[in-house]
Amino acid sequence: MSTLLSTRPLDTVADFPAIPAGWAYLDTAATAQKPQPVIDAITRAYAQDYATVHRGVYQRSASMTYAFEAARERVARFIGAGAADEIVFVRGATEAINLVAQSWGRTQLKSGDRIMLSMLEHHSNIVPWQILQRDVDVAIDVAPLTADGQIDLDAMAAMLTPRHKLVALAHVSNVLGSMLDVERAAALAHGVGAALLVDGCQAVPRMPVDVQALGCDFYVFSAHKLYGPTGFGVLWGKAEHLELMPPVQGGGAMIDKVSFAGTTFAAPPARFEAGTPHIVGALGLHAAIDYVDAIGLDAIHAHEAALVAETRSALGALNSIRLFGPENSAGIVSFAVEGVHPHDVGTILDESRVAIRAGHHCAQPLMEHLGVEATARASFGVYNGKQDVEALVRGMERVARIFG
């Protein structure tokens, strides 16, 4: 094993109490473990500071409201949004995409319009558009991939027409780790009058994101992949798009005035946040953003790139292993072993105290494109180091011995 990793240590594993010594957690693309500052923020919010937001006139409610809205402002700064009012709090990226589909899509698209996706999209960036297709009669096109598993923007450029009104693509593939040139994708989409939605779930924990510089129209991500709590996520949208979008849920907090004669709705983002919000989720995300910013996203990206390089080199030297995706994938390495089901690989690795993901990764169309039913996937976080790569390789050598 080379010394590449030792030049970029993050030394953060002690911050993660759920990672015991000797356990290689390589499933961060599914969900990230939580650092102690995030756990402390959540515990403090429930145990000491808890109250509802936006409604109470007493001091604790006012303080919690301030903290909740401070989290919105923190998210806006983190992704380079123009204003905090462009940040909509949701349950996760899945809900964010569904919100855009059911609100923006239903009002801005009509029969005969087209949506452009890609072959590597997560189901959460396919199924909501298929539901819209059923109800609004839009058409869906699928951009192909390059030989190394990146979205083929040259091919997409040739496919786009003025009938395309939305392009929805992953910033980083959750299977292949391939990174989208978002600026070019935005230019291509806008060149035919289409909006661009970007699924940033795998990007925001791994690299700096500036939505205004990227040029996209919508950007979504989930807190739990960013070392924050589950059940919480973010939709960013340009103000002009959010203003056009009607609410898809009704209830408290999202209204201007209610009467039996009719109801008027609050301005964004409140109109999309019906009911009592996940207050502590917002505070947990705030703490998670502070945590990764203290490390530095450039340092995180460099560290994970080194881990990927080491892993691809080591696994590539073993017989019968097929690697997927580009050499410079972002924090994710998917692979298959000839004659061995990925679930068997995952089970044997678990016996060696190595946790990976095995399956179709909510990307069945991509699996069909790759010619496999499933893959094994190792994905990295700030807590991983070369010892985890070595444990993975030892485990894969054991797989080879067991299956001959």
Cα–Cα distances (Å) from 146 to 47, 98, 119, 191, in that order, read 51, 28, 10, 22
Q: How far apart are CA 275 and CA 264, in angstroms?
A: 16
Q: How far apart are CA 299 and CA 205, in angstroms?
A: 11
The conformation of residue 275, written as its DSSP 8-state character, comes to S
- The angle that helices 342-351 and 386-403 make with each other, rounded to 10 degrees, is 120
Helix (H, G, I), strand (E, B), or coil: what is residue 372?
Answer: coil
Q: Is 66 buried (19+), middle (13-18) or exposed (0-12) by CB count in 10 A?
A: exposed
Cα dihedral 284→329→369→335 (10° resolution): -90
Cα–Cα distances (Å) from 246 to 126, 130, 238, in that order, read 22, 20, 15
**Largest Cα span, the chain:** 74
- Token pair 């849920």 in the structure block, residue: 249
Long-range contact list for 57-61, CB < 8 A, 24+ apart?
none
Cβ atoms < 10 Å from Cβ of 61: 16
Q: How far apart are CA 317 and CA 190, in angstroms?
A: 44
- Tally: H helices and E strands in the chain: 14, 15
Choosing from 362, 367, 372, 400, the catalytic residue is 362
Q: How far apart are CA 69 and CA 262, in angstroms?
A: 29
Cα-Cα-Cα-Cα dihedral sign, residues 109, 111, 113, 116: positive
Whether 362 is catalytic is yes
CA angle 15, 16, 22 (to 5 degrees): 115
- Token pair 């054991």 in the structure block, residue: 398
* Alpha helix ranges (H) inside 268-363: 279-295, 297-316, 342-351
Residues with catalytic annotation? 362
